[in-house]
Amino acid sequence: MVREYVDQVYIPAAVAMKRRSGQNGAVAAGLNAWHTTLSREWHKIRLENFCADEVEGGRRFRVEAFLGELNPDSVAVQLYADRVGDAEECSIPMVRNEMSIEGGRFSYEVIVETSRPVKDFTPRLIAQHSDTLIPLEDAHILWLR
């Protein structure tokens, strides 16, 4: 348990601290700006129009994310399923279509080879930044309602 903590939390945090303190704190300043924007805009975002259909190779899941003023690179949309019976918990990254549907609204999708029913899956949106240890340092998460 201690070894797991050291490997998964302590060492990555030490490496992140060293990286953030370099370049006269430019990385830390950028991270702070990202977090400030995320916190200010989070209450405005939403997930909508979740659907699934059968396609060659599996089941395609789609969802729309209204991000408002947030940069779409500052978040990740995932398809999540809890452990049910023999089926394991899973979190699958969804891919953003490059074009915005309309101001601040984006479409995400993923094709999954699964025999699990659609009701087992739900999309969620989480914070994402290459210099942050998610969810340790930022636990923003939005579930489809």
- The per-residue pLDDT for range 1-53, each reduced to its tens digit, is 778 766 766 666 666 666 667 677 787 788 888 889 999 999 999 999 999 99
Q: Quick one: tokens of 101? A: 């549907």
Distance of CA 24 to the CA centre of its chain: 29
- The per-residue pLDDT for range 102-140, each reduced to its tens digit, is 788 999 999 999 989 999 999 999 999 877 766 767 788
CB 126 within 8 A of CB 75: yes
What is the spatial distance between Cα 129 and Cα 134, in angstroms, rounded to a whole number?
8
- pTM, whole model, 2 decimals? 0.81
- The domains located in the chain, with CATH, are 2-143 (2.60.40)
